[in-house]
Amino acid sequence: MKKILLAVSALFLASAVFAQVERVDVRKQAVAAPAQKVQLTGFEEGAVPQTLAPITRATDRAFIGMTYYDLQTNGSMAPRIVAHEDGTMSAVWTTNGSTAASRGTGYNYYNGSSWINSSTNTNRIENVRAGWGSITCVGDAEIVASHNGTSALVIAVRPHKGTGDWTFTNLQGPSITGHNSQGQPATTTALLWPCIASSGNTIHLIACTDSDTGFYYQGINTCLLYYRGTFNPSNSTISWEQPRIVGDVTAADVARFQGDGYSIAVKGNTVAIVACPASNADAFIWKSTDNGVNFTKTVFWESAVKNGNLAPMMDTTLYLVDGSCAVAIGDDGHVHVATGAYLVTSDVDSGDSWYWYPGIGYLFYWNDTQAPLTYNGDNTYLMPDVLKAAGYTVIERFNLDCDTSIWGVSSWGIDAYPSYGVGSVSFPQIVAEGGKVYLTFCQLMEYPFIDNTNSMYYRGVFATKSLDNGQNFGDYSWLSYNNNCYYLSDWSLFPINDQTTYEDIAQYIEIEGESVFPAVAPKLRNGKLVMTWQQDFFAGSEIKENSVSMSGNESSIFYFELDADEIGTYNNVHEVCQGLWIDSVGINNRNISGMKMYPNPAENLVNITFSAENAESGVVSVMNLMGQTVYTANLEVSEGYNMITVPVKQLTSGVYMVTLQTNTGISTQKLVVK
């Protein structure tokens, strides 16, 4: 899912490769040599599964849609899912059929018992090419805002959620006179990348003016505007007021906003808009307590870089916001925000070039009871350790394989870490409710959670929660992980030949793959966190805007729900490597830990060591990738350290799953037999 930026800050113009000692000149688009596919050690050459493992899907997730358009945002996720008071739900995404002209807003509706549309449906709700749909509801009515990319937003309304026809109107932006790409005088009314929310009959909408160079509104290119509208339920129409510039900023404050570099939340009469203009300006909150009539601005992250003025930052390394942010409003009216951040450094000699480390970054959480980050000339003030010491919440990449570092393939170069133009921990979403804060996000993963076909690392979806209104956050859940998934770190193990189809590969790894672009409903549904994300089988993106056919890289829209109280225990990230997965409910007990197998690959026998908290009876079993048990034996588990030996000489070469199970714990790991 490589990112195609439709509008970005001029500061960041290219993808980059991460290594501890590597950096990429973003301004000059200097890149390393193309990466070569590598053979990862630990697997016997040619040992291939003869039959694909049967696929079972957990009950807490469902595929609700499909798209060939492998991109949902340029930065922040707009409101994409609504949890209604009656237990139903509405979800949207940017969809695309087999042709570029078919792009629009995909839609599905949960009627209380099931999603009503086929998961393979790529139909759009609009009657013209559109994209970036954002949804809200007023009473029983549904409202979707999307953009046609050229002249206006498309506002779709229907009186009854889940059923009936949509009616469409256009919302044009202010008329801006400038020059097109050929330098000729031109006028535009385009509005792009909308976010929509509502309170009562009041509609709150933000969107950007035209992003093409040469079109400036009040001196700002890609200017972020706020529209306030009143919905008339008698005829399902909206009356819009004149737009205002978000934050009341001027060109001296912000040279340009980034498309999707903002988010909106509404609760009662409180409206909060967060703007993080992609590193070249301050990140701020624009808040109203009178339903959008008056706003006040608070800078919560003061940038050391002002409007791209790089010279004062010569030979400097610092963190900047990455243009992906989220906002929520608590029941007490306090505002909660999160933004991704990435590490950059300026040119040693001139300061006119910037280097970006896409594998290094963090997610920063802040609420309006905390002191803002104020730049005082010391660039270390944004370093994660400094922020943590000051009491701020900073989330860095997780070590998912229980060694001492985040492991990477050293020979993988450019595009090994698909950046999407954001940092390594980004795409946040927040729910603030009942004095608790729920925070979800994406992050780059490490080996073995990789796409070895494209020489890239997957991203996954994670979550954490605070029980004290954002003062402290607990442990982390890996939401997108599924214990039924087998990972292939060496594609020589897969029977790829001239007859192998895309569906063969998809069936094998479809439960995991790459999960990005999480969108969370702004409130819990019956105590559950409900959300969607985009998932496909290959890291990076494949957008074919200029081709006739869009087919060849299907992406699924995935619905997921989880009891909010289980965040931090469900699929706990610190226990992945211990093989403690039980089922879709999560980890119920930590009785078995530290399971290790050697030698692996094995030829005659394999030794298995582990620790147990209690002495009890157990079973060791070996299962092939068809789901068939090929070996089982009873065992007596001792408290503390244990070692058992399993014969494997009689097994055919291939990949197997070895499971240790007692009444109170379970641990599973992959074994390769020569």
Q: Is residue 8 part of a domain?
A: no
- pLDDT at residue 6 tops 60: no
Residue 19 CA to residue 405 CA, distance in Å, equals: 13
Output phi, psi for 327, to 5 deg: -145, 145
Q: Is residue 12 part of a domain?
A: no
Residue 16 CA to residue 25 CA, distance in Å, equals: 8
Cβ-based neighbour number of residue 652 at 10 Å? 11
The pLDDT confidence band at residue 9, using thresholds 50, 70 and 90, is very low
Q: Which has the higher per-residue pLDDT, 456 or 12?
A: 456
Q: Please tell me whether residues 311 and 432 are part of one structural domain.
A: yes
Residue type, 324: S
Q: Is residue 587 part of a domain?
A: no
CATH number at residue 651: 2.60.40.2550
pLDDT of residue 457: 84
131 CB-near residues (< 8 Å, 6+ apart): 69, 94, 103, 104, 105, 146, 147, 149
pLDDT of residue 3: 21
Mean pLDDT along residues 654-665: 79
Q: How many CA atoms does the CB half-sphere of 604 hold within 13 Å?
A: 0
* % residues pLDDT > 90 (the chain): 50
Residue 580 CA to residue 582 CA, distance in Å, equals: 6
Instruction: Single out the residue in 545, 578, 611 at which a domain terminates.
Output: 578
Q: Cα 401–404–409 angle (5° rounding)?
A: 65
Residue 92 CA to residue 367 CA, distance in Å, equals: 28
pLDDT digits (tens, 9 = 90+) for 309-336: 555 565 677 888 999 999 999 999 999 9
- pLDDT at residue 27 tops 60: no
Q: Is residue 13 part of a domain?
A: no
Mean pLDDT along residues 625-645: 85
Instruction: Single out the residue in 527, 544, 578 at which a domain terminates.
Output: 578
Burial class (CB in 10 A: 0-12, 13-18, 19+), 45: exposed
DSSP code of residue 75: S
- How many residues appear in the chain? 674
- Based on the structure, what is the number of domains in the chain? 2
8 Å CB contact between 246 and 274: no
Q: Please tell me whether residues 447 and 310 are part of one structural domain.
A: yes
For the chain, the farthest-separated pair of C-alpha atoms sits apart, in whole angstroms, at 83
Bridge partner list, 36: none
Residue 584 CA to residue 582 CA, distance in Å, equals: 7
Mean pLDDT along residues 494-500: 53
The pLDDT confidence band at residue 213, using thresholds 50, 70 and 90, is confident
- pLDDT at residue 45 tops 50: no
Mean pLDDT along residues 13-32: 27
Mean pLDDT along residues 44-67: 50
- Strand residue runs (E) in 487-582: 514-520, 528-536, 555-563
Q: Is residue 7 part of a domain?
A: no
Q: Is residue 607 part of a domain?
A: yes
- pLDDT at residue 511 tops 50: no
Lookup: tokens for 378: 């010391």
Residue 545 CA to residue 542 CA, distance in Å, equals: 9
Residue type, 660: L
Q: Is residue 15 part of a domain?
A: no
Find tokens 């053979």 and name the residue: 39
DSSP characters over 344-413: EEE-SSSS--EEEEEEEEEEEEEETTSPPB---S-GGGGSHHHHHHTT-EEE-----SSSSS----TT--
* % residues pLDDT > 70 (the chain): 75
Distances (CA, A) of 51 to 140, 494, 499, 501: 49, 10, 14, 14
pLDDT digits (tens, 9 = 90+) for 335-360: 999 999 988 877 655 555 677 787 88
Q: Please tell me whether residues 546 and 639 are part of one structural domain.
A: no
Q: Please tell me whether residues 72 and 221 are part of one structural domain.
A: yes
- pLDDT at residue 387 tops 90: yes
The pLDDT confidence band at residue 56, using thresholds 50, 70 and 90, is very low
Mean pLDDT along residues 263-274: 98
Mean pLDDT along residues 405-410: 67
Q: Please tell me whether residues 438 and 514 are part of one structural domain.
A: yes
Instruction: Single out the residue in 551, 578, 605 at which a domain terminates.
Output: 578
DSSP code of residue 602: B
- pLDDT at residue 75 tops 50: yes
Cβ-based neighbour number of residue 39 at 10 Å? 10
Q: Please tell me whether residues 450 and 599 are part of one structural domain.
A: no
Q: Which has the higher per-residue pLDDT, 436 or 11?
A: 436
Residue numbers of the domain that contains 640 = 592-673
Cis check: omega of the bond before 599, within 30 degrees of 0: yes
Lookup: tokens for 234: 């008698």
Residue type, 226: Y
Q: Please tell me whether residues 332 and 270 are part of one structural domain.
A: yes
Please name which of 483, 545, 503 lies closest in space to residue 669, comparing C-alpha atoms.
483
Expressed in angstroms, the distance from the first to the final Cα of the chain is 35
pLDDT digits (tens, 9 = 90+) for 105-114: 999 999 999 9
The pLDDT confidence band at residue 12, using thresholds 50, 70 and 90, is very low
Residue type, 283: A
DSSP characters over 7-22: S--TT--S----BTTB
Q: Please tell me whether residues 235 and 290 are part of one structural domain.
A: yes
Mean pLDDT along residues 363-371: 98
Q: Picking from 233-237, 393-397, 607-611, which range would have the lowest pLDDT averaged per residue?
A: 607-611
pLDDT of residue 582: 33
Q: How many CA atoms does the CB half-sphere of 134 hold within 13 Å?
A: 26
Mean pLDDT of the chain: 80
Q: Please tell me whether residues 322 and 241 are part of one structural domain.
A: yes
Q: Please tell me whether residues 344 and 424 are part of one structural domain.
A: yes
Q: Which has the higher per-residue pLDDT, 195 or 55?
A: 195
Q: Please tell me whether residues 632 and 490 are part of one structural domain.
A: no
Residue type, 443: Q
Lookup: tokens for 376: 């005082």
8 Å CB contact between 295 and 288: yes
The pLDDT confidence band at residue 177, using thresholds 50, 70 and 90, is very high
8 Å CB contact between 654 and 624: yes
Residue 113 CA to residue 561 CA, distance in Å, equals: 14
pLDDT of residue 10: 24
Output phi, psi for 38, to 5 deg: -125, 155
The pLDDT confidence band at residue 416, using thresholds 50, 70 and 90, is confident
Distances (CA, A) of 619 to 360, 491, 636, 639, 641: 42, 31, 8, 15, 16
Q: Is residue 14 part of a domain?
A: no
Q: Please tell me whether residues 300 and 221 are part of one structural domain.
A: yes
Residue 265 CA to residue 257 CA, distance in Å, equals: 19
pLDDT digits (tens, 9 = 90+) for 122-164: 899 999 999 999 999 999 999 999 999 999 999 999 999 999 9
Output phi, psi for 416, to 5 deg: -65, -30
Residue type, 273: I
pLDDT digits (tens, 9 = 90+) for 538-579: 787 766 554 444 555 678 899 999 999 999 888 888 766 554
The pLDDT confidence band at residue 35, using thresholds 50, 70 and 90, is very low
Residue 464 CA to residue 450 CA, distance in Å, equals: 23
